[in-house]
C-alpha cells in the first residue's frame, strides 16, 4: 500500500521527533545490528520501503507500528526467514546483503515469533531442545541426555516463574500462556546477544508479564540487545528505552521513549489521537429483565467451572478478568456448547437457548471469538472471503447449517462490507488469510462473527495483537453492540482494556466468580487483589 | 498480481493435465502405431473408469486429512452382494440399488461412525475394516466367484452410447456431479473447512462429526458403484476383486494435486489423476512390459509425477 501524499492524516514528524537528526550525542554505543535501507516486496507489493534500524547492546528498543506496517516482516528478514529485496544488514560491523537463519543464529540473534511455533504434540522439554538434543555416551553409544535437559530447562522455566510446570506433558494440553512461556524459554536457551520479541506478551496476564520483564531487565544489564514489539503502550513505556515507528513500510520516527507521551506515540503510528475509554454513557438499568442470564453453569469435570451464574443487562459490557488458568476460557466454552457441561442454563431475553454444541449456539445467535486464532479461529486454506462467509452460511442454512448452494455474490458482499467496516488491510478479499499480518487476521475473525449479526457475543481476548488504532475501533464496535441491546461478554488479560470497556468486571479464580466489581470505580490493583485472593 | 503467482495458480489447475500430456507424448513416441489409435484411446478411458470412480470417493477422506484404505474391499463386498441378489432373482436395478448404492453407503457409514466414536485416525479404522469387509466377502461367497447373473445387466453396463462405453459416461457424469457438489454447495465448502482446520470449523458451528460421516459415506458410495461396474465387466463377482485398488485410488488423488494435509484439492484433477494411472497401465501393456516390471515402472512413475508436481509448485 502506498502512502498517499495528500493523506489528511499525514502529520509532520519533524516537530515530534527531536532526536531523529543531529549529533545528540546519546547514542555512542556501537550497534550490534544495523539494518540499512531494507526493502521487501511480496508479489510485487512493497511492504518495506527502505527501513533503517539500529539495535544496541544493553538497550531495549521498541518497534512500534500499526497492523501490517511491516514489523514482523522486518524481523523475519533479520533472522533469515525472508530474503530482503534491497538494503543491507550490518552484523558486528560486517555488511551482508542478507543473512541466512544459520548466520543469524551464529551471531546470537534469537527470536520469539508472534505466532507460537511450539509443536503441540511434543512435551515442553522436547520443545525446548528441538533440533539440538544434548547427547551423552553410554557404552560408547550416543544417547539423549534427558537429565541434563531437565536441569537446564528447570532453571530457565523457573526464572520465568513456572517452576512447577510439568515438563513432560504435551504442550498442546497446556494453556496458551504456558505455551508462550515455553516459546520464550526456548529463545533464551541459546547464547543470546540480540533477543527479538514479537508481541511476546499478547497472551500473558500482568503477573507473567512482570516476570518476563524482570528477566529482560536482567538480560539488558548483562549487555544483551533487546528488540521488543508490542501494541500495549503501557508495557512499552515500562520496559523500553528507545523506539522507532514504522508506518506503511517506512521509518517515520525514532527517539527515547521518555521524551514522548503516549499520545505522541499513537499519533506517530496512526496519524491521529484515538479514544481511550468506552464505558456506557448514562446509567444502566439493572432492575428490569437482563438480556442474558446464565444460571449455575458447571463444567463436566465440576472443577474448572463451578456453579457460575451472572447477568448481562441492556447496554452493558461484562468483563471477565483473572489469572491464566483460572478457567475463564473453559467457562466460555461451556456457554457456547463447545465443552460438555454437568449442568446450567443460558437464557436470552427470557428464552432458554442453552446450546449443546456450537452448531446450536450459532443458530441461536451466539458468537464466540476464541482466544487462539491459529488453533481455533481461522481456516488456513480459505481466503478472507471464505473465512468470513463460513459462519454466516452456517447460521442461515437449514438443518445443521449444511445443505444448499453457496451464494457467492451475497458472500462477497458480506466480506467486502466487513473488510470496509474493520479496515482490514489486504490486497483483496481473495487473498489467503495466511498472508495477512497477525492483527489483520484477528480483524477477519471479528468480521466473521459480526457478519451473523449475533445477539450474544463472547470475545475472548478480542484485541490480541491488534494495534492501538484498530483496538479502539474494536472497542467501539463492542460498545455499539452493547448499546444495541446485545449481550456482550469480554474476557481479557489486559487490565487496561478491561477498564476501558467493561461496565462490570467479574473476577474469576479457580473456576468461579470471586467478585463482581463496578467498571467505573475498579482499578488494576483492585482487580488483581481479588484475582489472587485465597479461598475455595 | 505478479506473473509468478499467476503461474502458480495456473499450475494448480492445469498441472495434472500437463503431466498427463507428457505421459501421452512419451507413449506415443514409444508406440507410434498403436497407442494413439482411437480404439485405444477409448480403451484407456474404459480401463480408467473404475480407478476414477474409486479415486473420486477417496478424494473426500483425504480432503479432510484422513484416508480410506477399505475401498478395495468395499468394491468386492458390494459387488458380491449385488451379484448374489441378482442370482437370487432380484431385479437388476433393485439389486444395484441395494447392493451397490445401499451397501456402499452403509459400509462407508460404518467407517465414518467408527472414526467418530473411537476418535482414532481413519488410517487405523479403515485398515481394520478393509480386512473385515474382505473377510465378510469371503464368508458370504464361500471364497468362490459368483456367476450367472442377468445378461441384460451385463449388456447394459458394458454397452456403448455411440462410441463411448457406458462406464466412462457413468464415471464422468458422476465426477461432474461431485465437482458441482464440492465447488458450489455449502456442504462441499464446509468439507474443505473441516479439512483446513477441524477445530476452527467446530467453533464456527460446523458439525465436524456429521461431515466426517458424510465424507466416508461418499467414499463408500463411489466404491460401491465401482463394485457394480466391476462385476459387469468381469461377468462375475470375484471375492478377491479390488485387492490393492486403494493404492491406485490414493495415487490418483495425490497425483491430482490433493494435499495429504487436508483442505486442498479439485475433482477435475482427480479425474485426470485416474486417467494418468489408466494411461500408464495401458501404455505398459501395449509395450508388452511383463507384469512384474509393470509394477516397478508404475511405482516409479507415480513418484516422479508427484515429485514433478511439487517441484513446480515450489518454483513459484
Ligand atoms: N508471506 C506473505 N505474502 C504476502 N504478503 C505478506 C506476507 N507476509 C506479510 N505480508 C504482508 O506484509 C505486510 C506487513 O506484514 P507484517 O506481518 O510485517 O505486519 P506487522 O507490522 O507485524 O503487523 P501486526 O502488528 O499485525 O503483527 C502486511 O500487509 C501483510 O499482508
Ligand atoms: Mg506482526
pLDDT digits (tens, 9 = 90+) for A461-516: 998 878 888 888 889 889 988 988 889 999 998 888 899 999 999 999 989 999 99
Cβ-based neighbours of A463, under 8 Å, separated by 6 or more: A231, A442, A470, A471, A474, A475, A492, A494, A497
Q: Pocket of ligand 1, candidates A75, A76, A435: which has the most ligand atoms within 8 Å of its Cβ, to mutate?
A: A435
Residue entry with cell 481456516: A379
Question: Average pLDDT in the B129-150 region?
Answer: 94
Tens of pLDDT along B46-58?
999 999 999 999 9
Regarding the beta carbon of A463 and ligand 1, being less than 6 Å apart is answered no
Cα–Cα distances (Å) from A59 to A224, A347, B217, B283, in that order, read: 7, 53, 61, 69
Task: Name the residue facing A338 among B190, B203, B207 (closest C-beta).
Answer: B203
Calculate the average pLDDT of chain A. 86
User: Looking at the predicted structure, is the pLDDT value of residue B64 above 90?
Assistant: yes
DSSP B62-115: HHTT---TTHHHHHHHHHHHHHHHHHTT--HHHHIIIIIIIHHHHHHHHHHHHH
Among A273, A290, A306, the domain-final residue is A273
Question: Average pLDDT in the A220-243 region?
Answer: 91
What is the per-residue pLDDT for B316?
52
Q: Are residues A76 and A130 in the same domain?
A: no
* Residue A177 within any structural domain of the chain: yes
Q: Are residues A81 and A197 in the same domain?
A: yes
Could you tell me the residue range of the domain that residue A61 belongs to? 32-108+193-201+218-273
User: Looking at the predicted structure, is the pLDDT value of residue A271 above 80?
Assistant: no
Q: Please tell me chain B's helix, strand, coil percentages from 3-state DSSP, rounded to the nearest 5.
A: 75, 0, 20
CATH number for the domain that contains residue A260: 3.40.50.300
Q: Are residues A79 and A197 in the same domain?
A: yes
What is the per-residue pLDDT for B174?
96
Question: A249 CA to middle of ligand 2, Å?
Answer: 12
Calculate the average pLDDT of chain B. 91
User: Looking at the predicted structure, is the pLDDT value of residue A15 above 60?
Assistant: no
What is the per-residue pLDDT for B2?
45
Regarding the beta carbon of A249 and ligand 1, being less than 6 Å apart is answered no
Total domains present in chain B = 1
Q: Looking at beta carbons, which residues of chain A come within 8 Å of B190?
A: 390, 393-394, 401-402
User: Looking at the predicted structure, is the pLDDT value of residue A5 above 60?
Assistant: no
Contact A406 B195 (CB under 8 A): no
Could you tell me the residue range of the domain that residue B257 belongs to? 3-315
Contact B207 A400 (CB under 8 A): yes
The Cα A438–Cα B87 span in angstroms is 64
What is the per-residue pLDDT for A13?
43
pTM for this predicted structure = 0.83
Question: Average pLDDT in the B170-190 region?
Answer: 95
Q: Looking at beta carbons, which residues of chain B come within 8 Å of A448?
A: 204
Residue of the nearest CA to atom 12 in ligand 1?
Answer: A47
User: Looking at the predicted structure, is the pLDDT value of residue A9 above 60?
Assistant: no
Q: Does A509 touch chain B (CB under 8 A)?
A: no
Identify which ligand lies nearest to the alpha carbon of A68.
1
Tens of pLDDT along B9-49?
777 778 889 889 998 999 999 988 889 899 999 999 999 99
* A223 phi and psi angles, rounded to 5 deg: 95, 10
Query: What percentage of residues in chain A have a pLDDT greater than 90?
Result: 42
What is the per-residue pLDDT for A28?
63
Residue of the nearest CA to atom 16 in ligand 1?
Answer: A70
What cell was used for B150? Answer: 442377468
Q: How confident is the model at residue A22 (pLDDT cuts 50, 70, 90)?
A: very low
What is the per-residue pLDDT for B5?
56
* Residue A448 within any structural domain of the chain: no
Q: Are residues A181 and A38 in the same domain?
A: no
* A95 phi and psi angles, rounded to 5 deg: -85, 135
Cβ-based neighbours of A462, under 8 Å, separated by 6 or more: A369, A442, A446, A474, A478, A490, A492
Nearest CA to A226 among A410, A41, A56?
A56
User: Looking at the predicted structure, is the pLDDT value of residue B258 above 70?
Assistant: yes
What is the per-residue pLDDT for A147?
85
Most B CBs within 10 A among A173, A402, A442, hence the mutation to make, goes to A402
Q: Are residues A77 and A57 in the same domain?
A: yes
Q: How confident is the model at residue B7 (pLDDT cuts 50, 70, 90)?
A: low
| Residue length of chain B | 316
What is the per-residue pLDDT for B130?
97
Instruction: Give A395's DSSP letter.
Output: H
Total domains present in chain A = 2
* Residue A227 within any structural domain of the chain: yes
User: Looking at the predicted structure, is the pLDDT value of residue A25 above 60?
Assistant: no
Task: Name the residue facing A406 among B189, B196, B203 (closest C-beta).
Answer: B189
* Residue A256 within any structural domain of the chain: yes
What is the per-residue pLDDT for A454?
92
Q: Please tell me chain A's helix, strand, coil percentages from 3-state DSSP, rounded to the nearest 5.
A: 35, 25, 40
What is the per-residue pLDDT for B219?
98
What is the per-residue pLDDT for A402?
66
CATH number for the domain that contains residue B105: 1.10.3470
User: Which region, left, alpha or beta, applies to residue A325 given φ > 0 means left and ψ of -120 to 50 means alpha?
Assistant: left
Smallest CA–CA distance from B194 into chain A, residue: A379
Task: Name the residue facing A403 among B187, B203, B262 (closest C-beta).
Answer: B187
For residues A279 and A127, the model is more confident at A127
Q: Can you give the C-alpha Rg of chain B in angstroms?
A: 20
* Residue A81 within any structural domain of the chain: yes
What is the per-residue pLDDT for B8?
66
Identify which ligand lies nearest to the alpha carbon of A44.
1
Q: Pocket of ligand 1, candidates A46, A63, A70: which has the most ligand atoms within 8 Å of its Cβ, to mutate?
A: A70
Q: Are residues A157 and A267 in the same domain?
A: no
* Cα B231 to the center of its chain, rounded Å: 16
For residues A97 and B200, the model is more confident at B200
What is the per-residue pLDDT for A401?
58
Q: Are residues A38 and A155 in the same domain?
A: no
* Residue A402 within any structural domain of the chain: no
Q: Are residues A248 and A135 in the same domain?
A: no
Smallest CA–CA distance from A368 into chain B, residue: B203
* Cα B24 to the center of its chain, rounded Å: 21
Q: Are residues A145 and A176 in the same domain?
A: yes
The 3-state DSSP class for residue A107 equals coil
How far from each other are the two terminal CA atoms of chain B, in whole angstroms? 13
Cβ-based neighbours of A430, under 8 Å, separated by 6 or more: A383, A384, A385
Tens of pLDDT along B71-100?
999 999 999 999 999 999 999 999 999 999
User: Looking at the predicted structure, is the pLDDT value of residue A422 above 90?
Assistant: no
Based on DSSP, count helices (H) and strands (E) in chain A, helices before strands.
17, 22
User: Looking at the predicted structure, is the pLDDT value of residue B3 above 70?
Assistant: no
How far from each other are the two terminal CA atoms of chain A, in whole angstroms? 54
Q: Are residues A36 and A103 in the same domain?
A: yes
Contact, B73 vs B137, CB < 8 A?
A: yes
Q: Are residues A100 and A197 in the same domain?
A: yes
* Residue A87 within any structural domain of the chain: yes
Q: Are residues A164 and A136 in the same domain?
A: yes
Amino acid at each position: 500500500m502506498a502512502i498517499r501524499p495528500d493523506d489528511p492524516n499525514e502529520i509532520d514528524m519533524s516537530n515530534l521527533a527531536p532526536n531523529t537528526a543531529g549529533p545528540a550525542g546519546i547514542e555512542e554505543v556501537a550497534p550490534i545490528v544495523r539494518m540499512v535501507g531494507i526493502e521487501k516486496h511480496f508479489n510485487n507489493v512493497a511492504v518495506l520501503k527502505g527501513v533503517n534500524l539500529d539495535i544496541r547492546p544493553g538497550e531495549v528498543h521498541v518497534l512500534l507500528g500499526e497492523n501490517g506496517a511491516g514489523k514482523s516482516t522486518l524481523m523475519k528478514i533479520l533472522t533469515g526467514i525472508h530474503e530482503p529485496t534491497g538494503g543491507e544488514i550490518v552484523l558486528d560491523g560486517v555488511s551482508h546483503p542478507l543473512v541466512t537463519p544459520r548466520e543469524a543464529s551464529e551471531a546470537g540473534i534469537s527470536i520469539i515469533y508472534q505466532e507460537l511455533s511450539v509443536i503441540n504434540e511434543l512435551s515442553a522439554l522436547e520443545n525446548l531442545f528441538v533440533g539440538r538434543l544434548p547427547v551423552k555416551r553410554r557404552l560408547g553409544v550416543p544417547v539423549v541426555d534427558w537429565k541434563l535437559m531437565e536441569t537446564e530447562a528447570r532453571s530457565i522455566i523457573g526464572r520465568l516463574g513456572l517452576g512447577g510446570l510439568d515438563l513432560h506433558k504435551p504442550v498442546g494440553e497446556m494453556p496458551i500462556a504456558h505455551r508462550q512461556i515455553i516459546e520464550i524459554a526456548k529463545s533464551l536457551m541459546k547464547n543470546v546477544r540480540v533477543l527479538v520479541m514479537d508481541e511476546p506478551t499478547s497472551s500473558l496476564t500482568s503477573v507473567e508479564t512482570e516476570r518476563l520483564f524482570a528477566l529482560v531487565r536482567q538480560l539488558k544489564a548483562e549487555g544483551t540487545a533487546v528488540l521488543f514489539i508490542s501494541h500495549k503502550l503501557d508495557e512499552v513505556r515500562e520496559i523500553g528505552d528507545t523506539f522507532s515507528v514504522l508506518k506503511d513500510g517506512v521509518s517515520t520516527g525514532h527517539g527515547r521513549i521518555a521524551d514522548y507521551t503516549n499520545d505522541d506515540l499513537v499519533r506517530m503510528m496512526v496519524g491521529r489521537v484515538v479514544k481511550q475509554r468506552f464505558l456506557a454513557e448514562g446509567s444502566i438499568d439493572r432492575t428490569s429483565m437482563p438480556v442474558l442470564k446464565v444460571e449455575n453453569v458447571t463444567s463436566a469435570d465440576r472443577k474448572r467451572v463451578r456453579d457460575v451464574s451472572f447477568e448481562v443487562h441492556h447496554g452493558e459490557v461484562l468483563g471477565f478478568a483473572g489469572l491464566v488458568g483460572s478457567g475463564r476460557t473453559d467457562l466460555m466454552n461451556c456457554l457456547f456448547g463447545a465443552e460438555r457441561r454437568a449442568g446450567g442454563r443460558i437464557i436470552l431475553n427470557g428464552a432458554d437457548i442453552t446450546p449443546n454444541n456450537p452448531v446450536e449456539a450459532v443458530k441461536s445467535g451466539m458468537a464466540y471469538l476464541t482466544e487462539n486464532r491459529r488453533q481455533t479461529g481461522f481456516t488456513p486454506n480459505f481466503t478472507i472471503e471464505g473465512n468470513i462467509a463460513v459462519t454466516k452460511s452456517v447460521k442461515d442454512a437449514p438443518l445443521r447449517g449444511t445443505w444448499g448452494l453457496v451464494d457467492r455474490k451475497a458472500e462477497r458482499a458480506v466480506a467486502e462490507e466487513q473488510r470496509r467496516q474493520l479496515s482490514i488491510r489486504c490486497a483483496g478479499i481473495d487473498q489467503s488469510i495466511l498472508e495477512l499480518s497477525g492483527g489483520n487476521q484477528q480483524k477477519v475473525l471479528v468480521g466473521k462473527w459480526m457478519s451473523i449479526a449475533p445477539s450474544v457475543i463472547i470475545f475472548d481476548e478480542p484485541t490480541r495483537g491488534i494495534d492501538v488504532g484498530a483496538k479502539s475501533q474494536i472497542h467501539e464496535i463492542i460498545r455499539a453492540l452493547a448499546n444495541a441491546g446485545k449481550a456482550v461478554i469480554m474476557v481479557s488479560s489486559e487490565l487496561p482494556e478491561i477498564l476501558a470497556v467493561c461496565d462490570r468486571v467479574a473476577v474469576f479464580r479457580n473456576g468461579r466468580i470471586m467478585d463482581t466489581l463496578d467498571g467505573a470505580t475498579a482499578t488494576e490493583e483492585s482487580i488483581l487483589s481479588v484475582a489472587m485472593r485465597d479461598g475455595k | 498480481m505478479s506473473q509468478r503467482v499467476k503461474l502458480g495458480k495456473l499450475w494448480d489447475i492445469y498441472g495434472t493435465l500437463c503431466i498427463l500430456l507428457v505421459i501421452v507424448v512419451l507413449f506415443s513416441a514409444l508406440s507410434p502405431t498403436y497407442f494413439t489409435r482411437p480404439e485405444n484411446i477409448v480403451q484407456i478411458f474404459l480401463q480408467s473408469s473404475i480407478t476414477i470412480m474409486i479415486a473420486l470417493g477417496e478424494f473426500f477422506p483425504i480432503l479432510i486429512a484422513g484416508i480410506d484404505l477399505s475401498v478395495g474391499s468395499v468394491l468386492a463386498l458390494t459387488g458380491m452382494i449385488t451379484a448374489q441378489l441378482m442370482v437370487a432373482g432380484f431385479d437388476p436395478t433393485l439389486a444395484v440399488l441395494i447392493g451397490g448404492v445401499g451397501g456402499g453407503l452403509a459400509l462407508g457409514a460404518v467407517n465414518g461412525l467408527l472414526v467418530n466414536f473411537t476418535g482414532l485416525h481413519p488410517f487405523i479404522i479403515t485398515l481394520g475394516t478393509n480386512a473385515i469387509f474382505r473377510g465378510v466377502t469371503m464368508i458370504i461367497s464361500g471364497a468362490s466367484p459368483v456367476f450367472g447373473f442377468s445378461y441384460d445387466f451385463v449388456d447394459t453396463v458394458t454397452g456403448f452410447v455411440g462410441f463411448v462405453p457406458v462406464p466412462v459416461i457413468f464415471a464422468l457424469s458422476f465426477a461432474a456431479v461431485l465437482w458441482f457438489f464440492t465447488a458450489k454447495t455449502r456442504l462441499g465448502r464446509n468439507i474443505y473447512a473441516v479439512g483446513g482446520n477441524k477445530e476452527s470449523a467446530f467453533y464456527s458451528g460446523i458439525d465436524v462429526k456429521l461431515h466426517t460421516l458424510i465424507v466416508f459415506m461418499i467414499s463408500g458410495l463411489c466404491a460401491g458403484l465401482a463394485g457394480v461396474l466391476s462385476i459387469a465387466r468381469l461377468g462375475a463377482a470375484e471375492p478377491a476383486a479390488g485387492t490393492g485398488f486403494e493404492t491406485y485410488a490414493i495415487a490418483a488423488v495425490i497425483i491430482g494435486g490433493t494435499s495429504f494435509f487436508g483442505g486442498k484439492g479439485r475433482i477435475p484433477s482427480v479425474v485426470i489423476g485416474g486417467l494418468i494411472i489408466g494411461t500408464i497401465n495401458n501404455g505398459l501393456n501395449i509395450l508388452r512390459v511383463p507384469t512384474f516390471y509393470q509394477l516397478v515402472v508404475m511405482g516409479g512413475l507415480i513418484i516422479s509425477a508427484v515429485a514433478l508436481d511439487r517441484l513446480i509448485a515450489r518454483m513459484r
